[in-house]
């Protein structure tokens, strides 16, 4: 601000005294206090109205979640063990052998079900070769093998070596045994270094024998879980049959009838509601196309007037502030 303008400001007669400023300050302070109290009271009402119960429920849920997560982890582990045990019996192999084969597949992106599917096709091919010994089948050397899991692993390793020396013959074998050429993750699986993977597992204590024991234990425990579920299911049938009465069912049916009546009542008014909405939409469209420019002009005028009033107010306020330091 230039010196001349500053001097001009100093010449303005004071219009607001210090006492008036104190009153303004007290008034504003009281107003802010009232607003703060109202806000705090509203927040407390929200908590009393259900927020506290919600907070307690949230905390309780967080406390119980670990138990729920443990239960889910146990169920998943036991179910996996039981499934491996069942599939191992299907393939005439040990649970530990199948667990390793599935782990080999997982290391190359295959799911357990996909590995099981490949083993199943190999088993079917061996069965066909067994049924017709005269046929020159690609898996005829595995006829009579008692452990399908071990036979499958040997076959895959042989196929991997064949693919390096004679790719076309390897493709023919794949098509004969599995019905198609293996691509993507399956191709990576057939090209895997199972010897290195198996050595890594053994170094970690994941031997076939240890896996056999672990899977068997999990499968046995899962049988207990399933037995408990079956027992509870039967007990629940008996318990609920004594608790559910004809009056209970009739009351529930009545609630369904009331709900259906409300739904139909709303449906009966649907045409009127649609017409009302259509009218409202048309009115809004009219305002948007015709009225908004007029409203915009009006707002511009209001802003101009408000700006002028604000400028006048600021001038009076500045003059009052400057005047507080002077004696009248």
What is the full per-residue pLDDT of the chain (328 aa) written as tens digits? 455 544 444 444 445 555 665 666 566 666 656 655 555 555 555 545 555 556 666 666 665 566 777 788 888 888 888 889 888 888 889 998 899 899 888 888 889 899 999 999 999 888 988 888 877 788 888 888 888 898 998 888 888 888 888 888 888 888 888 877 777 777 787 777 778 888 888 888 888 888 888 888 988 898 898 899 999 999 999 999 899 999 999 999 999 999 999 988 888 888 877 887 888 787 777 766 766 566 666 667 676 766 666 666 656 555 555 555 444 4
Both tokens of residue 93?
Answer: 């192999």
Q: What is the pLDDT of residue 28?
A: 61
Alpha-carbon gap, residue 287 to 79, rounded angstroms: 64
Number of Cβ within a 10 Å radius of residue 208: 18
């Amino acid at each position: 601000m230039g010196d001349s303008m500053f001097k001009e400001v100093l010449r303005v007669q004071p219009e607001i005294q210090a006492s008036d400023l104190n009153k303004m300050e007290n008034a504003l302070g009281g107003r802010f206090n009232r607003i703060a109290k109202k806000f705090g009271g509203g927040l407390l009402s929200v908590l009393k109205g259900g927020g506290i119960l919600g907070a307690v429920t949230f905390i309780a849920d967080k406390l119980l979640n670990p138990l729920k997560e443990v239960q889910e982890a146990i169920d998943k582990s036991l179910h996996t063990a039981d499934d491996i045990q069942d599939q191992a019996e299907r393939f005439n192999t040990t649970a530990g052998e199948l667990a390793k084969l599935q782990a080999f597949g997982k290391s190359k992106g295959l799911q357990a079900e996909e590995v099981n599917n490949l083993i199943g096709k190999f088993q079917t091919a061996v069965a066909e070769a067994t049924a017709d010994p005269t046929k020159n089948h690609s898996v005829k050397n595995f006829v009579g093998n008692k452990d399908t899991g071990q036979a499958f692993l040997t076959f895959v390793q042989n196929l991997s070596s064949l693919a390096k020396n004679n790719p076309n013959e390897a493709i023919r074998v794949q098509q004969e045994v599995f019905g198609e050429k293996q691509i993507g993750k399956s191709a990576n699986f057939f090209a895997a270094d199972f010897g290195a993977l198996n050595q890594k597992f053994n170094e970690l204590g994941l031997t076939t024998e240890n896996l056999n024991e672990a899977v068997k234990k999990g499968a046995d425990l899962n049988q207990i879980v399933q037995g408990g579920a079956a027992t509870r299911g039967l007990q629940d049938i008996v318990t609920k049959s004594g608790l559910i009465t004809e009056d209970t069912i009739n009351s529930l049916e009545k609630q369904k009838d009331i709900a259906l009546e409300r739904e139909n009542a709303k449906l009966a008014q649907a045409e009127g509601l649609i017409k009302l909405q259509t009218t409202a939409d048309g009115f809004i469209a009219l305002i948007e196309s015709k009225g908004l420019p007029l409203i915009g002009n009006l707002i511009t005028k209001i802003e101009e007037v408000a700006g002028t009033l604000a400028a006048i107010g600021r001038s009076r306020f500045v003059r009052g502030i400057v005047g507080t330091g002077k004696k009248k």
